[in-house]
A and B are shown apart, each in its own frame.
Chain A
């Protein structure tokens, strides 16, 4: 065996001769699971777009840092008026777009006005809802007036959907993105990879990579071989959590388990009988064994949650003790609700492994309390259509990865079909409050209400496992937003 391997490897080396270089590497192949539908972050919701372009090709006024903090970007500094309504941004000068044109305040005004226009195709128009006017003071100064104070405004301006684009190239960014970032777009081999190269005209601190290729590896099974064979050197979002343990022991790789903003929940259609009964929903919560779910669906890497808030958040309140795994209690509650003999329902599962695997486990756990679930796997297209839009479902599993999104429970017509005026009031108050302490209290109350109502089955915070070559440094450990910021990435050789 061993001998064979030696011989064959020698043969391989002979074949591969001439391909290796000894100087420190300046190229990187990053594995991503999903291919972006197009390359314009201001015109699509897909996280895959940001994963390639955010901070690399496109930049905003502000940006989100590795731990979710707001950092200055194209805006060098800013001042906020006392009433919290007027923001004055001082922009960097000497910034050029990749097509050679200059960047100035007009571009910012254009970008923001375009994003909040009536016919805008921006996927997150809500980010700009508070803006009243955008004024160009001079080419390096911009004044934004809000309709009312908004605590999260600077954070909002750091989203990928709020990056600055040039008016000349705005319409062609989907195919050929032109931004101000340290990397410029080179090539998109559809279905295969997207290549970025270093921009020579970058205004900021120079990056150390010359070339970055985002290789699309849609099949989780292919991730490990791709990594082991050296084809791909980094998977910031490693799709195959079960194999993490095995890669962990390998000195060639670094494994980083970080947090995300993904609250993974068992969504319940709470208007549809029997789920309109509180006892039924609570019974489901008691029936769930979160540890088993995390072990089975996320390789034991997730953190259990008791409400819709990331444990990493300052506002987090630990409510996991509210519904401990208790089959007897669950059966009792079902009996109270009139379902002594249980009932049947469907569980629609979108494609990600956390949903498909978690679904199997949950089906098995609910069977223990008498609820028979029929598992219906659906593609994202069907999920959006049937579950999200038409609300034609009983139960589903999905991870809500947007940061600070507890307000979704107050949205009218959201697919949970949840309606609680008390909760809506808290959210409304939250929007008008910029005082940090007050906000924390309100957020705590909101979490408590959701947990008490057992609106959905709160499962766990989706883990992020990053796996990359041990010689590589500078990649994000956590995922406050879904992005692969390459500005600080370098090889240490």
Chain B
């Protein structure tokens, strides 16, 4: 078990290190000079040069990489070019929006998908299954940003049930804050739930063909009990895999949704930062998201071991 975990950890760290080089290299070749952008239309060439020097943009590549990577390790992400505040502060402000949003969406998608998947698998081929899976097919096919637009017009504009967007901040109270995350969470969660329900169903059906299911049935357990006690846990591994992938997607892939609902989250921060060439923010946030994805994958690997004793005892 420890060997398995140590190996996963080592791989995760190596991936992280490699990813940091990729991110740094990629941002090196993005066209557009941040110094020029900060100074605006009328700045002289000397002013731009001075600022470049102040920002350390004229140091050699390797030196800048090492300084940046070293900073990351000590949680010093540098200062935003456009906001001129420490990046870590920006990130802290945004994470309290993006993380709850991703978690709510993930919870929502799980709560919807697992029962639907169980229902469908246990009724394979019958009307209920066909309807549920038809709905899931549709859910997968609808682009989530389009779905978000439809939701806004239905629930925010027409029914005025929830805010159309924006985030009042947690200081405005938990309920108003949650309310403003509800619609984006639904827009994010439903397509993901559709995918997860399909995976749950097919994983269950796969497991239901296994010999040990027959053994359990021969024991006298009714079908339902077999489904819950024997099939579900064995079907968890593909479901966990997808959950891991979805969390990564939800945490980072919310750029469009955050823009539609104008939520001040990480996705929008990075999108704005890219267009404004606030490279230090882009680098840091992308690295943070990558680290989150890697951490979640590690967590998923860990949970495999919890679910599957074969992995636990593998030395």
Q: Do chains A and B make direct contact within the complex (CB under 8 angstroms)?
A: yes
Across the two chains, which residue of chain B brings its CB closest to A38?
B84
Task: Tell which of B93, B159, B161 touches A191, judged by Cβ atoms closer than 8 Å.
Answer: B93
Given A38-B83, A221-B260, A231-B166, are A12 and B160 neighbors across the interface (CB < 8 Å)? yes
Give complex CA distance A96, B136 in Å.
64
Please indicate which of the listed interface residues A37, A174, A232 has the most CB atoms of chain B within 10 Å of its own CB: A37
* Selected interface stretch from B31-39, B196-204, B286-294: B31-39
User: Digit string of A364-404 for contact with B (CB within 8 Å is 1, else 0)?
Assistant: 00000000000000011110111011000000000000000
In the complex, what residues of B have CB within 8 A of residue A44's CB? 40
Give complex CA distance A384, B160 in Å.
41
Nearest CB in chain A: distance from B141 CB, A: 22
A205 CB within 8 Å of chain B: no
The answer to whether A225 touches B157, judged by C-beta atoms less than 8 angstroms apart, is yes
A218 CB within 8 Å of chain B: yes
Please indicate which of the listed interface residues B82, B84, B164, B260 has the most CB atoms of chain A within 10 Å of its own CB: B164
Give complex CA distance A424, B132 in Å.
74
Task: Tell which of A11, A45, A216, A380 touches B161, judged by Cβ atoms closer than 8 Å.
Answer: A11
Nearest CB in chain A: distance from B46 CB, A: 11
User: Digit string of B255-270 for contact with A (CB within 8 Å is 1, else 0)?
Assistant: 0000111111100110
A234 CB within 8 Å of chain B: no
* Selected interface stretch from B110-118, B148-156, B223-231, B232-240: B148-156
Give complex CA distance A225, B36 in Å.
35
Across the two chains, which residue of chain B brings its CB closest to A226?
B164
Chain B, interface size category, equals: 35 or more
The answer to whether B159 touches A388, judged by C-beta atoms less than 8 angstroms apart, is no
A123 CB within 8 Å of chain B: yes
Chain A, interface size category, equals: 35 or more
A175 CB within 8 Å of chain B: yes
The answer to whether A9 touches B159, judged by C-beta atoms less than 8 angstroms apart, is yes
Give complex CA distance A388, B36 in Å.
11
* Selected interface stretch from B65-73, B243-251, B271-279, B297-305: B271-279
The answer to whether B164 touches A231, judged by C-beta atoms less than 8 angstroms apart, is yes
The answer to whether A381 touches B167, judged by C-beta atoms less than 8 angstroms apart, is no
The DSSP consensus for interface residues of chain B is loop
A219 CB within 8 Å of chain B: yes
Give complex CA distance A11, B161 in Å.
8
A233 CB within 8 Å of chain B: no
User: Digit string of A95-119 for contact with B (CB within 8 Å is 1, else 0)?
Assistant: 0000000000000000000000000
In the complex, what residues of B have CB within 8 A of residue A216's CB? 262, 264
Across chains A and B, the number of contacting residue pairs, with CB separation under 8 Å, is: 140
B1-49 with Cβ < 8 A to chain A: 31-34, 36-42, 47
The answer to whether A382 touches B160, judged by C-beta atoms less than 8 angstroms apart, is no
B57 CB within 8 Å of chain A: no
A3 CB within 8 Å of chain B: no
Given A37-B38, A123-B40, A385-B31, are A222 and B164 neighbors across the interface (CB < 8 Å)? yes
Task: Tell which of B149, B160, B166, B263 touches A221, judged by Cβ atoms closer than 8 Å.
Answer: B149
Give complex CA distance A230, B41 in Å.
37
The answer to whether B264 touches A192, judged by C-beta atoms less than 8 angstroms apart, is yes
The answer to whether A222 touches B275, judged by C-beta atoms less than 8 angstroms apart, is no
Across the two chains, which residue of chain A brings its CB closest to B256?
A219
A215 CB within 8 Å of chain B: yes
Give complex CA distance A187, B31 in Å.
34
The answer to whether B36 touches A385, judged by C-beta atoms less than 8 angstroms apart, is yes
The answer to whether B84 touches A192, judged by C-beta atoms less than 8 angstroms apart, is no
User: Digit string of A223-254 for contact with B (CB within 8 Å is 1, else 0)?
Assistant: 01110111110000000000000000000000
Please indicate which of the listed interface residues B31, B40, B149, B166 has the most CB atoms of chain A within 10 Å of its own CB: B166
Give complex CA distance A218, B273 in Å.
13
In the complex, what residues of B have CB within 8 A of residue A314's CB? none
The answer to whether A222 touches B31, judged by C-beta atoms less than 8 angstroms apart, is no
Across the two chains, which residue of chain A brings its CB closest to B274?
A379
Given A190-B264, A231-B164, are A5 and B158 neighbors across the interface (CB < 8 Å)? yes
Task: Tell which of B36, B82, B153, B159 touches A12, judged by Cβ atoms closer than 8 Å.
Answer: B159
In the complex, what residues of B have CB within 8 A of residue A174's CB? 84
The answer to whether A229 touches B40, judged by C-beta atoms less than 8 angstroms apart, is no
Give complex CA distance A397, B85 in Å.
33
A24 CB within 8 Å of chain B: no
The answer to whether A229 touches B94, judged by C-beta atoms less than 8 angstroms apart, is no
Nearest CB in chain B: distance from A416 CB, A: 13
B165 CB within 8 Å of chain A: yes
Please indicate which of the listed interface residues B84, B90, B179 has the most CB atoms of chain A within 10 Å of its own CB: B84
A217 CB within 8 Å of chain B: yes
In the complex, what residues of B have CB within 8 A of residue A15's CB? 161, 179
Given A8-B159, A225-B152, A231-B166, are A384 and B41 neighbors across the interface (CB < 8 Å)? yes
Task: Tell which of B41, B93, B158, B263 touches A190, judged by Cβ atoms closer than 8 Å.
Answer: B93
The answer to whether B161 touches A228, judged by C-beta atoms less than 8 angstroms apart, is no
Give complex CA distance A224, B42 in Å.
35
The answer to whether A191 touches B264, judged by C-beta atoms less than 8 angstroms apart, is yes
Nearest CB in chain A: distance from B149 CB, A: 7
B128 CB within 8 Å of chain A: no
Nearest CB in chain B: distance from A69 CB, A: 26
Task: Tell which of B41, B84, B269 touches A45, judged by Cβ atoms closer than 8 Å.
Answer: B41
The answer to whether A192 touches B42, judged by C-beta atoms less than 8 angstroms apart, is no
A197 CB within 8 Å of chain B: no
B139 CB within 8 Å of chain A: no
Give complex CA distance A228, B157 in Å.
6
B163 CB within 8 Å of chain A: yes
In the complex, what residues of A have CB within 8 A of residue B269's CB? 191
Known: A126-B42, A218-B262. 19 other contacts (CB 8 A): A12-B160, A15-B179, A45-B40, A123-B39, A189-B264, A190-B90, A191-B90, A192-B262, A216-B262, A217-B166, A222-B260, A225-B165, A226-B166, A230-B160, A379-B277, A381-B276, A385-B32, A385-B33, A388-B41
> What 3 A-B pairs are tightest by C-beta distance, nearest first?
A45-B40, A191-B264, A225-B164
22 A-B contact pairs sorted by A residue (CB < 8 Å): A15-B161, A123-B42, A125-B42, A190-B83, A191-B268, A191-B269, A192-B167, A192-B169, A193-B166, A216-B262, A217-B262, A219-B260, A225-B152, A225-B165, A226-B165, A229-B156, A229-B157, A229-B163, A231-B163, A379-B275, A384-B41, A388-B41
Q: Which residues of A contact B (CB under 8 A)?
A: 5, 8-9, 11-12, 15, 35, 37-38, 44-46, 121, 123-126, 174-175, 189-193, 215-219, 221-222, 224-226, 228-232, 351, 379-382, 384-386, 388-389
